[in-house]
Chain A
Amino acid sequence: MRARPEPVHLIKQRRDRALAVLVEGVPYIRFMGISFDRRGDELTAVLNYSDKLIGNPLLPALHGGATAAFLEVAAVMELGFHLLWDDVESGRLDADSLTPETLPRMPKTIDFTVDYLRTGLPRDAYARARVNRLGRRYASVHVEAWQDNRERLFAQGTGHFLMPAPVSARDG
């Protein structure tokens, strides 16, 4: 007889918990006012507008540094959540007992390049990242950001990351 599927609320609870721990541990994400929407394993980073993100008060426009930081946060979180997802879904890590202090180490940014395609408008922005290459030591992540219209990107970025040692290697 087949095992009964796990109740959906428990699945959601576990995945939301894993994401929340990952986000809560990073003060800079709170400083920037970035939050995350999750649909399955797909993350959308949301840069919630605030006046402090402005770089050109005359236009007004988002600061290029705020845009760069938003893209980098979205890229690191995509990669970090991807790694945590495998550990949590396979049961190697227990989502309920995770805290920011006991989380596996996050990938480290080696380099990050931002293309500024349009002026960032003074309203919310969204970003989705894609892990294009995931090796044992290095990863390459591309990220796209938009505001009103998904087809009209206002910035895109590519980053390379140094991967942390896997959970099993750390325990052994």
Chain B
Amino acid sequence: MVNAADKARIARQFIEAIPFSRALKMNLDEIGDGVAVISMPYDAALVGDPVSGVIHGGAVSALMDTCGGAAVMSHPHAPAGTATIDLRIDYMRAATPGQRITARAECYHITRSVAFVRAQAWDDDADNPVAAASGAFTVEQPPEAKP
């Protein structure tokens, strides 16, 4: 039987082994029960606007997508795998240059085939989200669960 600590360790290794997440230096801060928190440091290579130094929206999308997938994988229904079906991101304000961005995603509903996720992202100002996201993810059933 896999306990919660093992599950979290496996999830952390899983996420940190994803090449694109590594390229963005993502760190899994918390995971369990359908909730994941992943953060990403400020990096000059991710800048979208050279004048202001603000991170490109695409880098925030990548963080939201990874965090959403991790939330689905950590759901107690334990899907064997997941892939994004669709993801909508609202950019509420520019992230402050130099600050770490942290995303929290929650898988708030799951069926046999679809997982529904919402997420938010912040910089140092935790009262003012930088972005919000909502998406649907596939639920891959473990082999023995297939009819």
Contacts and interface: CB of A to CB of B under 8 A. Distances in A.
Interface string A8-34: 000000000000000001111011100
Nearest to B52: A105
Contacts of A55: 18-21, 66
B1 interface: no
- Name, among A27, A32, A61, A73, the residue most crowded by chain B CB atoms within 10 Å (CB to CB): A27
Contact of A54 (B18, B63, B86, B94): B18
Contacts of A64: 65, 69, 83-84, 87
Name the prevailing secondary structure of the A interface residues: mixed
B50 A112 contact: no
Nearest to A62: B20
A53 B51 CA distance: 27
A65 B47 contact: no
A167 interface: no
A64 B133 CA distance: 14
- Name, among B20, B50, B85, the residue most crowded by chain A CB atoms within 10 Å (CB to CB): B20
A38 interface: no
A52 B83 CA distance: 18
Contacts, number: 127
Contacts of A121: none
Interface in A36-61: 51-57, 61
A114 B63 CA distance: 14
Interface string B58-90: 110111111001000000000000011111111
Contacts of A96: none
B13 to A, nearest CB: 12
B20 A52 contact: yes
On chain A, which size bracket covers the interface? 35 or more
A30 B66 CA distance: 21
Nearest to A156: B86
Contacts of B56: 26, 28, 69, 72-73
B5 to A, nearest CB: 24
Given A52-B20, A66-B62, 10 more contacts: A26-B48, A27-B44, A31-B46, A53-B23, A55-B21, A63-B19, A64-B65, A65-B62, A68-B65, A101-B50
Interface of B: 17-24, 44-51, 55-59, 61-66, 69, 83-91, 94
18 contacts: A26-B49, A28-B46, A30-B45, A31-B45, A53-B23, A55-B21, A56-B83, A63-B20, A63-B62, A64-B69, A65-B58, A66-B62, A68-B65, A111-B91, A112-B61, A112-B89, A114-B61, A116-B86
